[in-house]
Amino acid sequence: MSSQLNVDTIVDKAGSGGTNVKIANNAVTVSEGGNATTNTVKGLAKAWVHFTTVSSTAVNNNMSFNISSLTDVGTGNTTCNLSNAFTNVSIVAHFNVGDGANGDQSIVQNNGTTSTINLYCFNGSNANHDSSCCAASGFGDLA
Amino acid sequence: MASQLKVDTLTGVTTAGSIDVTGEGNSTTTNLQQGLAKAFIIFTQAATYVDHNSFNVSSLGDDGTGLTTINWSSAFSTAYYSSTIGIGEFGVTYRNIPALGITSNSSRTTNLLKFHSQTTGQGTADTPDNSVTIHGDLA
C-alpha cells in the first residue's frame, strides 16, 4: 500500500534542524506545478566542491560535500576522491573555473571509477593551467 | 532515540509542490522541490547514441553532427529552466570545442532541449560523455 505524507517543513525529531533526516531512495515529491512527481533522492547533488589548484590543491573554506580528498595530479589536473562511491562509472559531473583573466576552460574526464572524478583546467592556449576558483558537482546514484 | 517515518510521496499541505527543509546552519529553510535536479544525463554523440546514465529523459534524437534533442519524461512548467552542460573527455581534439549549449532559446521547450557541440570554426562535432543537468520547476 502506498502512503503519502502532507507536510510543509521537514526537520529532525528534535525539531532543531534537518541534518539527521533520512529519505528512502524511492521517495518522490510532488512537483512545483502539482501535476507530476519527481524522485527526491535522484534529484539531489551527490557531491560538490569549491577548490583551488594554485600553490597547492585545496578545498576553499571547507566548501565540499562527499569529497574525502583532492589529488594534485599535475598542473591544472585534479582528481576528486569521493567519500561515498557511485553505483555507475558514468557520473554526471560538471566542472567550471572562474579565473577568466586567463581564458580558462574546464573539462571533466570520466576515468572509469565509481569513486573518483578527474578534472582538467586549461587556458586559452590549450595548456594545462592552475586556477584559484574551481567548482565541480556530481549527480547520479550512490552505491 | 532516532525515529523513522516510511512514506512514498511527500506533499506540501499549504501548496502540494512546496516543502521546506531546514538548512545546514539551522537558521533558515530552503525549498525541497526547487533544490532538486529535475533531470540529468551523460551521453555520447556518435553514429549510434549512447545514454550512459539519465534521469527524467525519455529519449535522445540525433539531429546531425554535434546536434542532439533531449526529450524529457516529465515536462517543465516553463521553457526557461537552468541547464548546466559540459563534455567529459580529455584530449586535444575536444579542447577545440569551446561551446556547448542549447541551439537557441526557441529550441528549448517544456518538453525538450536541443543540445549542440560547437567547434572553434563555428562548425559542429560529435562529442563523448556529454553531461547535462537541469534545475527548474516541473509542470
Report the SS3 class of residue B95.
helix
Residues of chain B numbered 27-66 and touching chain A (CB < 8 Å): 29, 32-38, 40-42, 52-53, 55-56
Nearest to A90 among B21, B32, B53 (CB): B53
Q: CA-CA distances (angstroms) from residue A4 to A35, A60, A75? A: 15, 40, 51
Residue A25 to residue A40: CA distance in whole angstroms: 7
- pLDDT bucket at B100, cuts 50 / 70 / 90: low
User: Which pLDDT value is given to residue B102?
Assistant: 67
Over residues A4-53, the pLDDT tens digits come to: 777 777 777 776 665 567 777 888 899 999 999 999 999 999 999 999 99
User: What's at A10, amino acid-wise?
Assistant: I
> Are both A9 and A55 inside the same structural domain?
no
Mean pLDDT estimate for chain A:
86
Q: Which of A68-72, B17-21, B133-137 has the highest mean pLDDT?
A: A68-72
Q: Considering only CB atoms, which chain B residues are within 8 Å of A34? A: 15-17
> Are both A37 and A103 inside the same structural domain?
no
Residue B23 to residue A138: CA distance in whole angstroms: 20
Domain limits at A21? 1-44
User: Which pLDDT value is given to residue B120?
Assistant: 66
> Are both A72 and A92 inside the same structural domain?
yes
Residue B130 to residue B42: CA distance in whole angstroms: 5
Q: Among A4, A35, A92, which would you mutate to test the B interface (most chain B Cβ atoms within 10 Å of its Cβ)?
A: A92
> Are both A73 and A134 inside the same structural domain?
yes
> Are both A36 and A89 inside the same structural domain?
no
User: Which pLDDT value is given to residue B107?
Assistant: 75
Give the number of residues written for chain B. Answer: 139
Count of structural domains, chain A = 2
> Are both A39 and A53 inside the same structural domain?
no
Q: Among A90, A116, A117, A129, which would you mutate to test the B interface (most chain B Cβ atoms within 10 Å of its Cβ)?
A: A90
Beta-bridged to residue B84, according to DSSP, are: B133
Query: From the CA of A53, how many Å to the nearest CA of chain B?
Result: 18
All cell numbers assigned to B25: 546552519
Please report, to the nearest 10 degrees, the dihedral formed by the alpha carbons of residues A64, A65, A68, A71 taken in order: -40
A109 contacts B21? CB cut-off 8 A: no
B37 contacts A44? CB cut-off 8 A: yes
